[in-house]
Structure 1
Amino acid sequence: LRAELAAVDVTCSRFRPDSELTRVNLAAGTTVTVGERFAEALEAALRSAELTGGAVDPTVGRAVIALGYDRTFASLRPDDVRPLPVFRPAPGWRSIVWNARTRRLRLPADTCLDLGSSAKALAADRAASRAAAAAGCGVVVNLGGDLAVAGTPPDGGWRIAVADDHARPEPSRCPTVAVTTGALATSGVRVRTWRRAGRTVHHIVDPLTGEPAAPVWHTATVAAATCVDANAAGTAAIVLGHAAEDWLRRTGLPARLVAPDGRVVRLGGWPPEARAPGATLAGGAR
């Protein structure tokens, strides 16, 4: 697990001057060759963009930075008095020139990739698989709302408590689901928020506008075969807003949406609310 986290950090962190992502972003407008790990993370991001019809797009980097998320979240100014930026649509994932065989990449000039959410989900998938192989037993890996399982689960599956706000969780009140295979991911706009010019903003950007997605849903939790796909669907639900219910129904994925007023929408066979003590807490972290 430590090896996977170290690898994804040095490869995909926007906040490290020595990361490969920083090198790629600085080279926007020219063609570069990337490493195998970066290529895998980019493929995951492009898959997320394709599966969501562009609702999740790795080219939102400049928009996220313009909002003030230009450093680790713990270092953000909680009340940034600078004026709001001029919002512009993201360049779009289809503008990326990528050759998977040669690992040659060209970003449009003035484009900044943000691989954050998909890379973290990929790290959860990879870490769960590697840990299960190393330990010879079932494992569950939870990376701040991105949860993947591998190996043989305990009887009845892994009990996962889904929190709408991981910063102030109440485990006894969190609905609990059992996960036996695959992954579970939660996206939300309740935790990673800050003030900018008197307006509350968050980190999930709508690629069509360059603005923070409208807070139609506080959290979206989705189950899928991989954490990369669950993460993509959950983030897309936040971006899609009122259109998320129909879109998720078409995917057939189990999902739980929570509106700002506390209304809960369950889709795709998501089970009725149940609570159980001693469950692993997941959700609301991204």
Structure 2
Amino acid sequence: MTTHTPAPTPAPAQVGFPALGTTAALLVTEPDALPAAEAELRAELDAVDRACSRFRPDSELSRVNVAAGAETEVGGYFAEALEAALRAARLTGGVVDPTVGSAVIALGYDRTFASVRPDDARPVPVGRPAPGWRRIVFDPRTRRLCLPAGTRLDLGATAKALVADRAARLAAEATGCGVLVSLGGDLATAGPAPEGGWRIALADDHARPAPEGGAAVAVTGGALATSGIRVRAWRRGGRVLHHIVDPATGEPAVPAWRTVTVAAATCVDANAVSTAAIVLGERAPDWLRGTALPARLTGLDGRVVRLGGWPPDSHAPAPAPAPAPAPPGSRSPDLGGPR
């Protein structure tokens, strides 16, 4: 990341459309490369939807959850997504845990977020700790998996970050130009960045390309991920709930930060660390210092904490053109899970 405001350069070609319950944005440094890069991104989004969606009864994740307690063989894409989730669990000491699926469902996030009741009168069930990622038996070589009986996986957070990483890399390989993929709060880059870097605005919900003012950074490589408690929140039984679950309690993490943005070599790692920071709450700054990753935390009162060399805020330039609207009839799958 750089601390200066990049000099004006021709705006990258871009396209945007609904995906995974949020907005996908694709930017490329060469306009002629946009169709090929978009094809790579859409193929990845389709693959992760079929493999990892909590809301498709025909997804591989649904099949795996139904088979909990028995050994089953999983496909290559699902195996990669599961390995990413297990890596996130190892990196965070289990603060991010893919076995929170039952807890997320119990809280009311049991359907695509657009369909979640914004104000549910039912009482909030008593939280139960997640079964724990260490109880998952998985052999990456044979792709044989056995979940503890009664366990439900939720791969939403890490699977979305994995798509950003994979799509950016594959699009850059296919086109030979610089690529940025943004999926809500998850951004990954590959190939040569534009002069001055990719301009990224930091907002109260997530980081995004094509800034519209406010705090901004320039990214020349790697990835950013933002996790927060405001975008996916609802009321139930008189309580305000959000979607980032503490696996130790089965309850939404106690709010301490509106958003946490982390920079890392991969979006999977950045997402794991930003999500963990939300769960850790007031303990997050000390833990983040141990990771040595650049991070920016915004408190509930608006105070900003910068760690790991995160630069002082600069201001984004004038708005860039908005992403193109989704084509008629396009689907917007939602994996579920935190962001």
Runs of 5+ consecutive residues of structure 2 not aligned to the other structure = 1-40, 323-337
Post-superposition shift, 1:186? Answer: 0.2
Find the partner of 1:27 among 67, 77, 89.
67
Which residue pairs with 2:91 in the alignment?
Answer: 51
- C-alpha contact 2:200 2:211 (8 A) present in aligned 1: no
Find the partner of 1:201 among 238, 241, 247.
241
- C-alpha contact 1:80 1:195 (8 A) present in aligned 2: yes
In structure 2, what is the Cα distance between the partners aligned to 1:279 and 1:64?
Answer: 37
Aligned length: 282
Letter in 2 for 1:268: G
Q: Deviations over 1:99-136 (max 9, x none)?
A: 11110000001100000000000000000001111221
Q: Deviations over 1:51-71 (max 9, x none)?
A: 001000000000000000000
In structure 2, what is the Cα distance between the partners aligned to 1:174 and 1:28?
Answer: 46
Please report the TM-score for the alignment, with normalisation by the length of structure 2. 0.81
In structure 2, what is the Cα distance between the partners aligned to 1:120 and 1:103?
Answer: 21
In structure 1, what is the Cα distance between the partners aligned to 2:180 and 2:93?
Answer: 30
- C-alpha contact 1:176 1:279 (8 A) present in aligned 2: no
* Structure 2 residue 301 is the aligned partner of structure 1 residue 261: yes
Which residue pairs with 2:230 in the alignment?
Answer: 190
- Would you identify which runs of 4 or more consecutive aligned residues in structure 1 move more than 2 Å? 170-174, 278-281
C-alpha change, 1:201 and 1:15, in structure 2 (3 Å) is same
**Cα RMSD after superposing both structures:** 1.8
Percent identity between matched residues is 73
- Work out which structure has the larger RCO, using CA pairs closer than 8 Å and 6 or more positions apart in sequence: 2
Which residue pairs with 1:223 in the alignment?
Answer: 263
Q: Deviations over 1:175-232 (max 9, x none)?
A: 1111111100000001100001010000000000000001101100000000000000
- C-alpha contact 2:72 2:145 (8 A) present in aligned 1: yes
Please report the TM-score for the alignment, with normalisation by the length of structure 1. 0.95
* Structure 2 residue 291 is the aligned partner of structure 1 residue 251: yes
In structure 2, what is the Cα distance between the partners aligned to 1:118 and 1:230?
Answer: 10
Q: Deviations over 1:123-180 (max 9, x none)?
A: 000000011112210010000110000000011110100111359xx95442111111
In structure 1, what is the Cα distance between the partners aligned to 2:319 and 2:246?
Answer: 33
Letter in 1 for 2:299: A
In structure 1, what is the Cα distance between the partners aligned to 2:285 and 2:206?
Answer: 24
In structure 1, what is the Cα distance between the partners aligned to 2:317 and 2:262?
Answer: 22
Letter in 2 for 1:54: G
SS in 2 for 1:256: strand
SS in 2 for 1:90: coil
SS in 1 for 2:314: coil
SS in 1 for 2:253: coil
Between Structure 1 and Structure 2, whose CA radius of gyration is higher? 2
Which residue pairs with 1:88 in the alignment?
Answer: 128
Runs of 5+ consecutive residues of structure 1 not aligned to the other structure = none
Which residue pairs with 1:118 in the alignment?
Answer: 158
- C-alpha contact 1:159 1:279 (8 A) present in aligned 2: no
